Structure formats: C-alpha cells, structure tokens
Chain A
Amino acid sequence: MARNLIINYCNLLFFGVKSKKETGFFVKKGMDKKLKTVYVDKIPSVVSKYFASVGVTEENTLLAMRSDLRADGSRGDCFIMLTDSEAVIAEGIIEFTSAGRSANGGKIRSEEFKISRYERFAVKDIGEPRAEQLISTGRVVAEADGEDRLIFNFSSACKHGAAVLCRAIGDLKKNGRLEPSEYENENYELHICSKCGRRYPDEELKICPNCMDKARLVKRLATLFFRYKRAIAMVLLAFGLIAGLGVVTPYISNELLYDEVLGKAGSTAGDVLAIVLLIVGVRIASLIVNLISGAISSSVAANVTYDLKKMIFNTISNLSLGFFTNRQTGGLMTQVNSDSLTLYWFFCDGFPYLVLNVVQLAVIMGVMLSQNLVLALYTFVTIPLFFVGFKFIFNVFDKLHAKGYSKRRSFNSLVSDVLNGMRVVKSFSREDEEMGRFGKRNTELAEARNEIQSFSARIFPFLHYLLRIGSYVVWGVGGWQVMNATGDMSYGRLMAFIGYFSLIFGPIEQLADVSNWWSETLNAIQRLFEIRDAQPEVRESENPTVPAECKGEVEFRDVTFSYVENRKVIDGVSFHIPAGTTLGIVGQTGAGKSTLANLLTRLYDVKTGGVYIDGVNIKELPFEYLRENIAIVSQETYLFRGSILENIRYACPNATREQVIAAAKTASAHDFIIKYPDGYDTEIGFGKKDLSGGEKQRVSIARALLRNPKILILDEATAAMDTQTERNIQAALDRLTKNRTTVIIAHRLSTLRDADKLIAIENGRVAESGTAQELLKQKGVYFKLYKLQAEALKTVGIGE
C-alpha cells in the first residue's frame, strides 16, 4: 500500500504520468503472446519483485535488460522492462542488509532495491528510439512531443542490450508485437560464461578465457600429441640414446680409466689400449646418434609445422569476412606462424627434452647417491639454490625480452612506414624529422638490447661462480674422503662424480623454465584453437533450397545492417530489380553503396530484413549457388601473383583460351595485354610487372565476365579508367547486360547512363528511386549530382 503510494508519487513527481495508465497492461492479451520473456541481462530477483509490485510481471514482460549508467551519468544499475505497451525504467541500488539469524544460526540476508529513478514510457507516445553512441558510452533517446527525450544511459558494455531494446520498441511500434525468432537468441544465458557470469569477449567464439579450464586445453594438446605420437617417439628415442651415452661417458672416461685401468687394482689393469678404444667407440657412437637424431628432428619439424599450418589455414579460409575486419590480418598470419612454431617446439623439442631431463636427472642423482651417499647429499644442497636462481633469471629475461620485442616492433613499423611513404616524406622535405624519429626509436631499441646484454653480462659470471662453489664442495669433501679413504672413495670415482655433477645443471636449468614455456604453449594452443573454433558469422543453411535455374531477380526487403553496434550503415532499404534489368546506385562516399553489394553477395549477413533472389531468401541458398550466379567487380581489385591468364581464369580454371580472350576483349583488356612481350603469360604481382589501376580493373572485369553470372555487380569497377576506355567497356557491357541482372555502383553519372532504374542512397536510406528522367524531375540528390557534373563540363565549355 505504502509502496504504491510512493510509486504514484514518483510518477507524478518525475513525469506526470497518470496512474490510470499503469493498470492498462494488466489486461491479458490473449494468445498472441508466444514470446517468452527475453532476458537480455540477468535481472536480480529483488528487482523482479519490485517490478512485479508495479504490475510488470514475467507474464507481461517481453524483454528485460540492465544498463550500468544512470540518467545523471553516474555508475549504477538501471533496469528496463518492456511490455507490449510500455517501457518501464527503474534505477537504483540493491542494498544488502542483515536481518537477524535463522533458527539454525545462519545469517539471513535480505536485499532491498533502493530506487532513485522510476519512469514509464508508453510505446505509442514516443518515436522510434535511437541509440546515440558517444565516445565510450551511449544513450537511448526517443522523440516525445516533438522533442528528444532521454530514455536511459548505457556504457559500451551494455551497447548490445541497448540496440536490442531500440529494435524491440521499433518493432512494437510497427507491428505491435515481437517476432520470437528474432529475439530468442538474445537471452543472456547464451552469451555469458556459465561459470563466472561474464559476457564472452568474442561473440563468435563463445569462450571465456577466464574460466577456460586448462584441462580442456591440455586435452586438446594431447589429441594433437597423439597425432604426432610417432614423431615424438622417434625424437624421444634419439634423445634417449644421446642421454644414455652422456651418462656412461663420465663413468668410462673417469672411473674406469683411473681406477680400473690405471689404478693397477682392477681386473683390466694396464689394458690401456682397450679403454682408449672403448672411449673412442663411445664418442663415435654418440656422434652417430647425434647425426641421426638431428635428421629425425628436422624431418619431424617440417612435417608437424606443415600439418599445423595447413589445419589453421583451412579454418581461416572458411571464416566470414567479419572475422578478418575485426582482427588485423597481417598480425593474424604472424601469430599463426609463431604459434605453430611454438607448438612444434613443444612437441619436438620441449616435451621430449623435458621427459629426458627428468629421467636423466633421476638417473644421475641415483647413480651419485648409490656411489657416495654423503658426498651426493652435500652436493645436492646447492641444487635448490640454482633452481631458484635460474627461475629468477628467466623471469627477468622474459620481461627484458618482452620490452625489447615491443621496441623492435615499434622500430620496424616506423621503418616500413617511412619507406612506404617515401614520396610524401620527400615531397614535404621532412627527411630530417624522420631521421630524428628514427634516431629516437633506434636509441630505444639499442637501449633495450643493451639492457639484456648488460644483464646477462652481470648475471652469468655470478652464476658460474655459484656453480663453482658446488664443485668446490665436491672437490673439498670428495678430496678429503679420498685422502682419508672414507666412504669408499677413489680418485677416479671423484672425477666421475664431478663429471656427473656438471651434468645435473642442464636439466635443472630447463626445469626452472618449465612453467614459463608451459604457459606459452597453452597460450599458443588457445589462440590456434580460437581460430579453429570460431564459428563463421555467415553460415550456410543446413538444408538449403537449390533452385533449378537462376533468373536473376533481386529484391531487398527492409534491410538494416551495421558493422558496429548502434551505427546503422544500411537503414531500412528496400528495392526490387526485375530479372535482366540494370540498377544504378548513386550516393556520396560512405553512404553505404558498397555495403549493399556485400550484403547481396553474402559477405555479411543482414541484421534485419532480407535479401531475396528469385523470391528465395539468400540465407537459404547454398553458397555454391550464390557464388555461381553472382559475380562482383569491386573497387578494390586484387590480382594474385601469377600470369594474367591465371588471374582471368581465377574463377573458372577450366575456361578455354578462346573464352579468356573473348572476356578480355569485352573488358577492353585484350589490347593492353598483347602489348606486353609475354602477352597473356605476363607474370604480375610482387616484384614482377605492376599493372596500373585501370588495367587491374579491366583484368578483374574480364575475370567476372568469364564467370558469366546471372547477376553482375560492378562496384566502382570503372572508376580508375579514362573516359574513353570506360565508354568502350560500357558499349561491350551493354551487349552483355542484356538478359543479365546488373547492379552498377558509381560516382560518375555517365557510368550509369544506361541503367533502367536508379536509386540514390543517402545516410544508409533510399533517398529516391526511378529512371534518370524521373529523378531529374524530382530535383533531389540525383539532380544535385547531375548538376554538379554538368557544371564541371560547362567549365571546359562542353555544355549539355
């Protein structure tokens, strides 16, 4: 009772909403509500209770979300519930209070939702809400009574929720209901880690790096391990032989030599020749084993890295374009390279060595203990010291190397920057400044290197000295034992002991670094599997419909699209291209023209609405069918290394030479190609013949034509050509575009003169559409462009 009063009071105080409205949505809407409440974020129970107390129950809530910024811009909780008639907003803090103890002594905690803002917006009274993206935060604003009004604030962490809410209110206004299929997958449970409750940092991957259990990674590592088990076993065998020989060598060349042969006491006394031959034999054997193991490792290395890279490259090519625009492709490839090297190193070097070192260490320590318990114990005292010492040194080195690495990176990027931009540097005579910048980075790099050098110069003599102390102990205690003939010690045995002692440090050094390279390996495998596990955003339908024949009719129905949340690039675009006709798209740079082409070719998927070919949604068509029937010549032409012939044939490798020539001729490429000494066999690409912009475009047009698609998209495909060439190509295209649906995107209106219909795109919307004549009469965007270009002609005296 009291609460209701307060709420009514709040309503009156803040918004003057009459409480009569509140009761409105108690009315059950019958059966049309098939959508279960969509929880975009988790709503605490105390908050749900609060909302229920004002009549917003799970029954009538369509969508619920949480934001983390309050209306005044301060941090705090803000909850938004959407019913089919209202958006209800409550901001406040959840307070925990201790409410005494229960019967068995446990604390009873009670929560209370202390409210600081409460507001209701009737969906019909506000305009379609927009999410205004600010620098690091945003706000949802809607028009009410002709003026913008703040609905709620959000930080970028909640930007997705804000976008969903805006879309939902928009849909409610338009259709009066939410389409369940479009909202069901917005439930927060699908997007957060079930363990720690954090949102997955990457929507495509759905992995929580915080909770990703190492066990799973190790398991995956193990699967790879089994894949390479033969290789690893072979390396292990080779290493084992080396190590075994390493262990017997001190025994033979010290104990056996000094005590048995030279000591006149043993059974083989005086048999110098035999022992020398034995020593030589062991040395030769270890040399041979070394050679064999080297051969094994290098062949294994090549195979394993090849295999890893193949696996990764295969998955990379299957990912959608969005994956690459989110990451830097160059960095991606370097990462893949270095990660597969790390893994290779783990399988073929690190792991076998580790096993070997542990075994070797155990064997040597066992031998030492069995030979002379006291002396062995004395020497082992120094081992923990070394272990800690090595660990410390590796940590410092890791840090120094990381620093050096980042300096080298910035140095390299500067160098490549300046070299690539040499024309600009020279034309503004900025050489001196660039030299200065170069000098600064160079000094920093040198300093970082110097730091590493000076650290190792300081630390290693010290470490060697420490190592000496260990051997001093052996010398002292062992020598004393030899002199006093205690502990069954002989001169030869002492020498062998010292030999063993020096063998201990190799394994210890590596074991000290084990934790570091282990985590590095896990990182590498995680990154590799991250790529392997990534779900392509654009997925082929599982049971696609395969139309018998493609007529080439294209329709965009109310399409919206955004590359980044809350920045709509395409906003409700609809148009229809009858089969076999030509559509021209004009508009300013950045208006969204190329995005339309990307959507039609399904490089990206539309956010809402749909693209239809012959009446079938392209999401239901197989990729194969799409690629077969749509060809695009884009503004970024890319030619691969290889001959011109190979490049033209890229999309259909089986085309005959005659077909290639016909395509080249149509694209006006034939004439310039035959001017090259090697004709169609001219090699292009890095360091070879470099084609000019216009030539590249002509080759890529030929490439698309050879494909002979039903739908051809020319996205600024002739922009880099002179007008004469463009005319020639157009004349040829005119013949070609008969019976072919063509979309031409262009700045230059002359390019579009033969289009059956034109649409002008402005800020992601269709500003106007019709034939060129109709658009001229409308005096809108097209007319403006026309006038501008006509004026440009007038200035040189070619009035139209």
Chain B
Amino acid sequence: MNENRNDNFLELAEVIYLTADNSRFYRTKNGFPALEAVLPKITDDLEAEQDKTPVKQDLGRVFFHRCFPFETPDEYISVLNKDGREYAMIRNLNELPAEAQEIIRAELDRKYLCPTVIKIKSLKEKLGYSFWEVESDVGELTFSMHDTYRNIARVGGGMLIITDVDGNRYRIEDVAKLDRKSFKKIELYL
C-alpha cells in the first residue's frame, strides 16, 4: 500500500528525465555545455493553457547541479537555465551517450572543483583562527579557518568538507583513512 501511494506521487510530480532519445548535449563555440532536447515548452504565460506536448528545441548553454553531491554524484543531476530554472533532470549519468557524459562530467568537475586533502602537515590554533598546512591532490596548500568546529562538516560516512575563511572548500575522502598523525591533528574538531 505504501508503494502505491509513492507511485501515485511520482506521477503527480511530473519530473522530466533526459535520456539518449530525448536529448543531445553539445558544446558551444566557446566550450560551454549546451542542450538540444525534446521538452514541453517553458512559458511564463499563465493565461495560455499550458501545453505539455514535447517539442524539439535548442536551449543553448545549460547549467548543472547535483541533487546529492556527496552520496550519488552521478545520479539525479538537475539541468538548469542561467536563472536557475530547471529544464529537466538526468537520472543517471551513465545512461547517457558517451559524448554527453564527457561534456557533463567535465562541467561537473569544474563546478565541484575542490582539492582533496591527503595529509595534514600542520594545524595550529591561534586566537580563534586555525591555520592549516596540508598536502592535497593539487599540491601543498595553506589556508586559515574561523570557527573551526562549525566549518568542518561530516557528510555521510567518513567524508569531511572543510570550509575556510574565504569560502573555499577542501575535501577529506575518509577521515578514518588518514594517516595517524594527520588524524590526531583533526580529531579534536570532529
């Protein structure tokens, strides 16, 4: 009975998912991802009866946003226009053609770009700020944090997201897998 209720709900929500059949991703001349898709026309006009029949349209440059960036980064990706209005969703990136996957992955990698910390070389607390020296996948980095305890977020499992004073993020894939010395340094803030 529970399932029935949920199915009914799924239908009502009318989420459109992009597939290999109804969409084609391409790059603009300047290398930004763009989309041509068969979708119902998006109108702001409330007067006209909403026409839900899908039409083939070239939407130009599109933007992506992961719905569950930590747990399923390749699934449920929202495809948006520049004002943040959603055109449709991608259920699973792997179901799209290789070319589309490549275009979208490159853009997602850029959007979610964030160094992964491999080792904490030094972590000093001074007058309410903490100063970090870390080794990351993009080389050595130094940054400072305020309110350290609150700016280290645990996101599912052992992953940590650290946000510095500027709003830059750093990721620790699995805090339990850090070497002992690094772990000891960060342990106090967990």
Contact = CB atoms under 8 A, between A and B. Distances in A.
- The answer on A and B forming one complex is yes
Given A134-B113, A156-B167, A209 B129 contact: yes
B30 interface: yes
A157 interface: yes
A150 B30 contact: yes
A788 B138 CA distance: 52
Contacts of A526: 127-128
B167 A134 contact: no
Interface string A774-800: 000001000010011000000000000
Contacts of B46: 784, 787-788
A201 B114 contact: no
Contacts of B32: 147-148, 150
Nearest to B165: A201
A210 B47 contact: no
Contacts of B127: 209, 212, 522-523, 526-527
Contacts of A787: 46-47
A763 B82 CA distance: 12
Given A136-B114, A209-B129, A202 B30 contact: no
Contact of A136 (B29, B139, B167, B189): B167
Interface in A119-161: 134-137, 139, 144, 147-150, 155-157, 159
Contact of A147 (B30, B83, B109): B30
A784 B188 CA distance: 54
Contact of A523 (B31, B128, B169, B190): B128
B149 interface: yes
A275 B126 CA distance: 56
Counting contact residues on chain A (CB < 8 A from B), the size range is 35 or more
A42 interface: no
Interface string A203-233: 0000001101000000000000000000000
A135 B129 contact: no
B126 A209 contact: yes
Contacts of A779: 47
Interface in B160-176: 164-169
Chain B residues touching A, majority SS = loop
Nearest to A525: B127
A661 to B, nearest CB: 46
A403 B184 CA distance: 12
Contacts of B83: 763
B138 A75 contact: yes
Contacts of B24: none
B111 A135 contact: yes
Nearest to B115: A75
A607 interface: no
Interface string B17-41: 0000000000011111000000000
B101 interface: no
Interface residues of B, number: 36
Nearest to A214: B127
A136 B128 contact: no
Contacts of A403: 188
A693 interface: no
A784 B47 CA distance: 8
B30 A149 contact: yes
Contact of A155 (B44, B129, B168): B168
Contacts of B126: 209-210, 212
A198 interface: yes
B5 interface: no
A73 B110 contact: yes
Contacts of B131: 210
B110 A148 contact: no
Interface string A147-181: 11110000111010000000000000000000000
Contacts of B144: 198, 201, 209-210
A591 to B, nearest CB: 12
B169 A148 contact: no
Given A147-B30, A406-B149, A527 B111 contact: no
B79 to A, nearest CB: 16
Contacts of B28: 147-148
A526 B129 CA distance: 11
A788 B44 CA distance: 12
B91 interface: no
A530 interface: yes
B4 to A, nearest CB: 19
A748 interface: no
Nearest to B28: A147
Interface string A367-396: 000000000000000000000000000000
Which 3 residue pairs spanning A and B have beta carbons closest together? Answer: A136-B169, A156-B167, A209-B129
30 contacts: A73-B109, A73-B113, A75-B139, A134-B113, A135-B69, A135-B112, A135-B113, A136-B112, A136-B114, A137-B110, A147-B30, A147-B32, A148-B28, A150-B32, A155-B166, A155-B168, A156-B164, A156-B167, A156-B168, A159-B166, A201-B165, A202-B146, A209-B127, A209-B128, A210-B126, A212-B126, A406-B188, A523-B127, A523-B128, A787-B46
Interface of B: 28-32, 44, 46-47, 61, 69, 83, 109-114, 126-129, 131, 138-139, 144, 146, 149, 164-169, 188-190
Given A75-B138, A135-B111, 13 more contacts: A74-B138, A135-B69, A135-B112, A137-B110, A155-B166, A157-B168, A159-B166, A201-B129, A210-B126, A406-B149, A527-B127, A527-B128, A787-B47
Interface of A: 69, 73-75, 134-137, 139, 144, 147-150, 155-157, 159, 198-199, 201-202, 209-210, 212, 399, 402-403, 406, 522-523, 526-527, 530, 763, 779, 784, 787-788
